[in-house]
Amino acid sequence: MDYFQIIDGVMHVEDMPLTRIAEEVGSPVYVYSQATLIRHAQVFREALTKAGINNPHIAFAIKANPNLAVLKVLAGEGYGADVVSGGEMRRALAAGIPAKDIVFSGVGKDDAEMAAALKAGIGQFNIESEEEGRDLAALAETLGLRADAVLRVNPDVDAQTNAKISTGKAENKFGIGLHQTPAIYGRLAALPGLNMRGVALHIGSQLLNLEPLETAFGKIGKLITDLRNAGHSISHVDLGGGLGVRYKEGDVPPHPDEYGAMVARATKDWGVQLMFEPGRVICGNAGVLVTKVIRVKPGSGNTPFVIVDAAMNDLARPALYDAWHDFEAVSPTGDRFTANIVGPVCETGDTFAMGREIDKVIAGDLAIFRTAGAYGATMASTYNSRGLVPEVLVSGDRYAVVAERIEPATILAAEHVPDWLA
């Protein structure tokens, strides 16, 4: 459930008409609903507790939406953070998320990032390789610390999602193969700089089917037994994120309740602190990208091009993953037509939809791309020397600009011509 709906003919976010935000902040602009974020955070947590999972540790995967205000909202719901870079760690801390509730994931943590995380006292490192574990242990020892850590396992299952966001197959760069895990775990557990306390996995994102997860959890259950039999004390298991959301009619993502029930079933004998790293399911449907139609241009045949002021640099998912984002007029007339929706960037990849039936729009109309709250603004670039889109948070009948528009002039001002060219 979200809080984006037509009231008196105009799309609102909670009690705020998008026409007002577009008028005052301009377009394109990302708009988030605080009530939706809170609701999703609560529904996810309740799904776990209802299923009997006691005191789950939930770390929001910041990569999905790192906006400081969004993090602040989720911190208010007791969420920790899953970070994958020094920059994300900084944001989590700036949002007031306690260091102990931060999990440091990511396949290429460098020494500077790990040292900063150790000094900040973050709660857990999810180690991706023996080499990384040794580097972390050495850094921790130098600092006179012992890092709480788990080993990320690659369970070799097909998450049945887009290949670019699958992370749990043997050929993917993530984690350590199951058969190698006991030996590597043993060697890392022997290092004085590490307190090895369990394992982690994350098999992919936008999962619309729970089976691959359940299969993976089954393999982890067996691994836990093997590690315990080898004398290790396993107290923490991080089950990652991955729960999909509805982008398109016909998408039927598992309800968090079904996910919770499956997790409870798969982990019932584990006797560990379970940890979670949801991203998209919390924020995906809590945001839209508001855009303005620049003009409508006839196409070949009868299908016109609707050229909007948002482009692939602002919302990269369609160009990167052939992703679908619903497109709706902010003030729909009831008329519909079939069109190609494209941005102004100079490549054919800058296409949001081809031959799609949508609300009839004309030059100057406002429209939204839905489900843009996850992996939207954060994946923006300045390609074609376009600026960075601002972000707005709505709560009831108020809104605030929570990330300013970065104008092309600001970006240009950070570039320098060397004196030999002056």
Q: Judged by CB under 6 A, does residue 202 bind ligand LLP?
A: yes
Entry field: residues in the chain: 422
- Identify the bridge partners of residue 290 per DSSP, sorted by sequence position: 29, 368
Active site residue 346: yes
Q: Judged by CB under 6 A, does residue 67 bind ligand LLP?
A: no
User: How many residues of this chain bind ligand LLP (CB under 6 A)?
Assistant: 22
Site string for ligand LLP, 93-112 (x = CB under 6 A): ------------x-------
Of 10, 99, 145, 165, the residue at the interface with ligand LLP (CB under 6 A) is 165
Q: Judged by CB under 6 A, does residue 70 bind ligand LLP?
A: no
> Is the CB of 57 or the CB of 317 nearer to ligand LLP?
317
Of 34, 154, 206, 291, the residue at the interface with ligand LLP (CB under 6 A) is 206
Residue 213 CB, shortest distance to ligand LLP, in Å, is 11
Cis check for the bond before 28: say yes or no (omega within 30 of 0): yes
> Is the CB of 28 or the CB of 279 nearer to ligand LLP?
279
408 sits in which H/E element: helix 408-413
Q: Judged by CB under 6 A, does residue 287 bind ligand LLP?
A: no
Tell me how far CA of residue 189 lies from CA of 122, 141, 219, in angstroms: 19, 14, 21
> Is the CB of 256 or the CB of 390 nearer to ligand LLP?
256
Which amino acid, residue 250?
A: G
Strands 194-200 and 147-154 turn out to be parallel
Q: Which stretch binds ligand LLP (CB under 6 A): 184-192, 276-284, 342-350, 412-420?
A: 276-284
Evaluate whether 62 touches 105 at the Cβ level (below 8 Å).
no
Residue 124 CB, shortest distance to ligand LLP, in Å, is 12
Residue 12 CB, shortest distance to ligand LLP, in Å, is 26
> Is the CB of 35 or the CB of 207 nearer to ligand LLP?
207
Q: Judged by CB under 6 A, does residue 132 bind ligand LLP?
A: no
Q: Cβ atoms within 10 A of the Cβ of 365, count?
A: 19
Q: Which stretch binds ligand LLP (CB under 6 A): 5-13, 50-58, 61-69, 386-394?
A: 61-69
Residue with token string 């998408």 = 251
Q: Judged by CB under 6 A, does residue 394 bind ligand LLP?
A: no
Q: Which residues of 167-179 are buried (b: 16+ CB within 10 A; e: fewer)?
A: bbbeebebbbebe
State the maximum Cα–Cα separation within the chain, in Å, rounded to a whole number.
70
Q: Cβ atoms within 10 A of the Cβ of 284, count?
A: 27
Q: Judged by CB under 6 A, does residue 279 bind ligand LLP?
A: yes
> Is the CB of 21 or the CB of 84 nearer to ligand LLP?
84
In 309-363, which ranges are E strands? Answer: 327-329, 336-342, 351-359
Q: Judged by CB under 6 A, does residue 317 bind ligand LLP?
A: yes
Residue 201 CB, shortest distance to ligand LLP, in Å, is 9
Q: Which long-range contacts (CB under 8 A, 24 or more apart) does 248-256 make?
A: 248/324, 248/326, 251/208, 252/208, 253/207, 253/208, 253/281, 254/207, 254/208, 254/209, 254/210, 255/47, 256/43, 256/44, 256/46, 256/47, 256/48, 256/281
> Is the CB of 196 or the CB of 243 nearer to ligand LLP?
243
> Is the CB of 16 or the CB of 95 nearer to ligand LLP?
95
Say whether 406 sits in a helix, a strand or coil. strand
Strands 194-200 and 236-238 turn out to be parallel
Q: Judged by CB under 6 A, does residue 205 bind ligand LLP?
A: yes
Rounded CA Rg of the chain: 23
Q: Judged by CB under 6 A, does residue 199 bind ligand LLP?
A: no
Q: Judged by CB under 6 A, does residue 277 bind ligand LLP?
A: yes
Residue 137 CB, shortest distance to ligand LLP, in Å, is 21
What distance in Å separates the CA atoms of residue 80 and residue 150, rounded to the nearest whole number? Answer: 17
Say whether 155 sits in a helix, a strand or coil. coil
Of 28, 155, 240, 287, the residue at the interface with ligand LLP (CB under 6 A) is 240
Q: Judged by CB under 6 A, does residue 278 bind ligand LLP?
A: yes
Which residue in 346, 354, 363, 412 is the catalytic one?
A: 346
The set of catalytic residues is 346
The residues of the shown chain that bind ligand LLP, judged by CB under 6 A, are 61, 63-64, 82, 105, 165, 167, 202, 205-206, 240-243, 277-281, 317, 321, 375
